[in-house]
Structure 1
Amino acid sequence: MGKIAVIGSCSTDFTVQSSQIPAQGETVLGEHFSIDFGGKGANQAIAAARLGGNVKMIGAVGDDDFGQKILANFKRHHIDISDMQMVPGPSGSAHITLYDNDNRIIVVPSANHHITFPSEAALEKQLQDVDFVVLQQEINLNINEQVIHYCAAHEIPVLLNPAPATQLDPELIHQVTYLTPNEAERELIFPNQTLSESLAAHPNKLIVTLGDQGAIYHNGMTECFIPSFKTQPLDTTGAGDTFNGALVVGLINGLSLADAIKQANLAASLSVQKLGAQGGIPTLEELQAAEAQL
């Protein structure tokens, strides 16, 4: 299998589960608290690795206990961390409230905003054995731009999951191979286009995830809706990251785009049945068992 490089955020998730959301100035009691591994980049790397991917993680952690634990977690999943950076200060964190089968998240980037590639030669060294690159937007966007320009010049496929959403330079959209926003992110990136218009303008590139409905893209001739696999969610945190990690594994394994999306939908549906951004990510064996039951 080709090698996947995930360049992005690593953090620790502090999650509270509550049956009530506090109003401003109000204190309420929660039902459950957990500390877990997270960060969109780390989640996508773990998802790809659990599904059999050959994964390298490129990012930054702080020189604190959380940073050491994040690195150890990558090692447990047999992820190449030879190009991970350790910087002074705290590691990234995410503060998650689970309520009514959904989540609200505040991300504090900390070390994640200190990823650097001091030169193109340094970037080339880190990507010289890579066949696919995965990016998100919890790191400095100029790093993403640097990576996308390099990959476009060297014909390395790139999947950009544009979350958290920002407006994107049309040239960056042109250079990435796959763009995977959710509905709200798609509206911010293409504010003057309907869903159908933006899909038709970016065939086989723009894949819009539709939550528990599935995902949709345009194949150059028609819109293709790939439905989700219905389940009762316990925690939707990390479902999108599982989708993206599984999608890349499917693509690098030679699946068609439609089949890769179908596989990613199934992986995401499995992920929401357990707590934690990484806690529910299925293994390859679990995914294969679910496929056999379909």
Structure 2
Amino acid sequence: MRDTPAEAPPKPPVTCWFAGLTTLDVIHRSAVRPGRNEKVTAVRQDVSAGGPAANAAVIAATLGARALLISAMGTGPVGSAARGDLEHHGVEIHDTAQGREIPVAVSAVMVDDETGDRSVVSPDATLTNGLDVTAAELDTLPRPDVVLLDGHHPDLARSVLAYALALEPRPLVVLDAGRWRPVFADLLGSADVAARSADFRAPEDAAQSRAVVTTHGPDPVTWCDKDGRQGSTDVPEVVVRDTLGAGDAFHGALSVALAQGAGLEAAVEEGVRVASIRVQHIGPRSWLEYVPCA
């Protein structure tokens, strides 16, 4: 009688670091936009953690990666509320505030009930600039396969990048480059992939990343890999209900796919798939249940 071959043990999940901004988003969905000195009644309200790095980490955890967020939250009520939402969705947190109470940005978000378009007012990282992280702290964390930087905390981004570049094997470095920030001058030249919006404008003398991905809203995503191969990936036509965090969904899924060894084209396709799911559902978190089974 032949022995049944033993099944190969499951591979451990990839580890993705997300370094950057965490906010608390207060989101109102409204059928009309308020005019000057006018009040309107929202048709829906949500409160969740926000910020490019934080949202991308939630997506990565939903996709089965070990998602570690390196950010500043502190012990205050706003940071604690953001932390609770992130941990509920499987994100591990390294808080650079180190047990202090710090001001954490509260973002005011309005989503148009008819079009799904969002408007955001936020202090971003301006309330907590200057927070950094040491190599000794990073040494205590699980080694990453991919590191995403959103550039909102410049000192933090530079320190995490320097640490990642010194690791062996070196993780892939992804930049969330939605809009130009001066810190990107220090980051672009070392990045493996710069995931840019169509509105991103770098100075002519800025260094370039090894590969570039550019999103164009509902139009095809264009990309150029490290070997100079170029292409575009179509975005499916869907009924758009809510665009808040669509870019973050794309970046989180892109990062996980790259960490799993996908080529740039396949990773872009995965990012498009997940972002397309996100925009079809109302609310910052309810859509996550549709991601793994899509």
TM-score, normalised by the number of residues in structure 1: 0.82
**1:148-198: per-residue Cα shift (whole Å, max 9, x none)?**
23322333321110234324555521101111111002xx225699xxxx9
Contact map agreement 1:239 1:277 (CA 8 A) in 2: no
Would you say the 8 A contact 1:22–1:28 is kept in 2? yes
Taking the aligned partners of 1:84 and 1:77, their CA distance within structure 2 comes to: 20
CA separation of 1:131/1:83 partners in 2, compared to 1, >3 Å: closer, same or farther? farther
* Residues 192 and 50 of structure 1: CA distance in aligned 2, closer, same or farther (over 3 Å): same
Q: How does 1:112-261 map to 2 (within 5 A)?
A: 113=129, 115-117=131-133, 119-123=134-138, 125-127=139-141, 129-137=143-151, 139-154=152-167, 155-167=170-182, 170=185, 172-185=187-200, 188-190=201-203, 205-219=211-225, 220-261=227-268
- Please tell me the residue identity of whatever aligns with 1:259: A
Identical aligned pairs, as a percentage?
A: 21
Residues 13 and 128 of structure 1: is their aligned pair in 2 closer, same or farther, counting only changes over 3 Å? closer
Q: Which residue of 2 aligns with 1:292?
A: none
The corresponding residue for 2:274 is 267
How many angstroms apart in 1 are the aligned matches of 2:69 and 2:185? 27
State the Cα deviation string for residues 102-147 of structure 1 (Å, max 9, x = none). Answer: 1111123466536321x43334x2456222211113x321221222
| Aligned residues: CA RMSD | 2.7
Q: TM-score when scaled to structure 2?
A: 0.82
Query: Larger Cα Rg: Structure 1 or Structure 2?
Result: 2
In 2: Cα distance, 1:148 partner to 1:56 partner: 15
Partner of 1:291: none
Q: Compute the displacement of 1:221 (Å).
A: 4.5
Give 2:104's aligned residue: 91
Decide which structure has greater helix share: 1
Identify which range, 171-180 or 84-93, moves more after superposition.
Answer: 84-93
Report the secondary structure of 2:107's partner residue: strand
Report the number of matched residues: 275
Equivalents in 2 of 1:53, 1:273: separation in Å?
23
Quick one: distance in 1 between partners of 2:104 and 2:184? 29
Structure 1 stretches lacking a partner, 5+ long:
288-294
Instruction: Please say if 1:104 is aligned against 2:119.
Output: yes
Secondary structure of 1:42 counterpart: helix
Take 1:108 and 1:56, find their aligned partners in 2: how far apart are those partners? 24
- Distance in 1 (alpha carbons) for counterparts of 2:117 and 2:87: 30
- Change in CA separation of 1:179 and 1:221 when aligned onto 2, cut-off 3 Å: closer
| 3-state SS in 1 of match to 2:106 | strand
